[in-house]
Structure 1
Amino acid sequence: MHLSPIIEVAGLNVDLSIVLMLVVTCTIVFIIARLATRNLSVENPGKMQNFLEWLVEFVQGMMASTMDLKKGKPFLTLGLTLILFIFVANMLGLPFGIVTGYHDASKATFFGQPLVNVVEAIDKLHASNPGVEAEVEVAWWKSPTADASVSMGLAGMIFLIVHFLGMTRNTKGYFKHYLQPFPVFLPINLIEQFSKLLTHGMRLFGNIFAGEVLIAQLIKLGSTGAIGFVASVPLLMVWQGFSVFVGSIQSFVFVMLTFLYISQAIETHEEH
């Protein structure tokens, strides 16, 4: 697997590829939203407006399956933003990748800042194989959701929102459910909440990461020779098509679970 370009800033390791891809994802989502809401018309809606209306109805349908629409109305924008952001993020690593190779540790820099993990990898290769030219490849372009920190960051954000809403909008019912059906179940109920956080983020990460790993292996197969190239092309086309499907499903599942967790937090036990 390729390394990520990591620099040290104020004692913290910053993954430049993740920063780059998050900026790209946010920019694309902003452009889509801007185009869809520009020149709104009742009589003659454009294609982007029609797409936005369809997406709103789609997200409302997801919301209606988990909670009352009146209660869920404040969370419509959250759902729209999440499904667009995650879908775009899932798709970015499919069409192509940007990979650079480094042989010299002194040249593994970004605006004068050393790529710390690349330097360490080159030094280790030189130490284990003296006299042999080392090469370390760095991936700059990939799906941000193929990184566990991004997927778990999204899940962590939803985790905090859900529990804040539960404590502020359904205080009595929220704290009471931790003691149900009996107070002795408190530890189990607490473990359940943290397991939701873990599965919410890792499900997204695992599916997107696995897809990109296989795509990378198929690309390597294509570089092994004529036979490998011929074999890899149809496999790559099929897998990329399947990855689009998986990326779409994962964005849907993430938002659906978000609405489900919110509904569980803001509704009392009797309302479920």
Structure 2
Amino acid sequence: MHEAPVIEVGGLHLDLSVILMLLVTCTIVFVVARLATRNLSVENPGKLQNFMEWVVEFIRNMISSTMDWKKGKPFLSLAMTMILFIFVANMLGLPFGVVTEYHDPAKATIFGHEITSVTEVFKAAHEKGEEAHAEVAWWKSPTADLSVTMGLALIVFLLSHGLGLFKNTKNYLKHYVQPYPFFLPINIIEQLSKLLTHGVRLYANIFAGEVLISTIMTLAKASIIGAIFSVPLLMAWQGFSIFVGAIQAFVFVILMMVYISQNLESHDEEHH
């Protein structure tokens, strides 16, 4: 597997590939949204406007399936932004990758900072008395990084529980001691497990896809026969990955709306 370009700044370990890809993702989503709303027309809408209108209607139906539309309408922009962001993020690692090789740890620097992940590889090899080189991946899907997906899941977690606590206080707090008060620890664990599975599910699916792409590319480098067989394999897997990336964006957002709905609605019915 490729190493991540990690540097240490002020005691913090920063993954430059994640920062780069998050900026790219945000830029693409912003540009698409800006282009789709630049020349709005009722009589002669453009293809991009039609596409965005379809996305809005799709998101609206998604929200309506989890809660009453009057309650869900304020979350339309949030859901649209989240699904576009995650879908674009999932797709970025498919078209190509940018990988640099290092054979000398002294050259593993950027912006005057040592790439610690590379130097650690050389240190480990040196201790074993082996020769080493490190490959660093700069271009990948940001959602193939656990810190990104858990960060997104944490945003949803804090938002949904904050809404429940401040807008549905009585029912929200009551839910933790239902059906009996001694269920409090179990209900707390249940909520924490939702946070964990929400982030890990997205990460695992996208990371597994990128691992397989990396394996196919390794096969292509092995021999001429491997290169020939890798082409159809890579095309087939990338096509399937587009489907997986779209499904995972949908699953993440639908779960987000379900969690928000659960904390905004009364929990009485589900315990009777």
TM-score scaled to structure 1, two decimals?
Answer: 0.97
Tell me, in whole angstroms, the C-alpha distance in 1 between the residues paired with 2:42 and 2:189: 50
SS of 1:14's partner is strand
Give 2:233's aligned residue. Answer: 235
Gaps (5+ residues) in structure 2?
none
- How many residues align? The count is 270
Partner secondary structure for residue 95 of structure 1: coil
The aligned counterpart of 1:46 is 46
* Amino acid in structure 2 at the alignment position of 1:88: V
Distance in 1 between residues matched to 2:234 and 2:48, nearest whole Å: 30
Q: Can you list the C-alpha shifts for 1:114-138, whole angstroms capped at 9, x where unaligned?
A: 10121121122233226x4x21100
Q: Where does residue 74 of structure 1 map in the other structure? A: 74
**Could you tell me how far 1:55 is from its partner in structure 2?**
0.3
CA distance in 1, matches of 2:31, 2:269: 39
Within 5 Å, which residues of 2 pair with 1:79-228?
79-129=79-129, 132=131, 134-228=132-226
Structure 1 position 25, deviation (Å): 0.3
Whole-Å separation in 2 of the counterparts to 1:165 and 1:157 = 12
2:242 pairs with one of 225, 241, 244: 244
- Spell out, residue by residue over 1:125-156, the C-alpha distance to the aligned partner (whole angstroms, 9 max, x if none): 233226x4x21100000000000000000000
Instruction: Give the equivalent residue in structure 2 for 1:55.
Output: 55
Alignment partners' CA distance in 1, 2:35 and 2:269: 39
Q: Alignment partner of 2:205: what SS? A: helix
Between the aligned partners of 2:269 and 2:227, the Cα distance in structure 1 is 58
1:18 aligns with 2:18: yes
Matches of 1:145 and 1:74 in 2, distance apart? 26
Identity fraction in percent: 65
- Greater than 6 Å deviation, 4+ residue runs: none
Q: 1:55-98: CA deviations, max 9, x gaps?
A: 00000011011000000011000000000000000000001100
TM-score, normalization by structure 2: 0.97
Check conservation: 1:60, 1:76, Cα contact below 8 A: yes
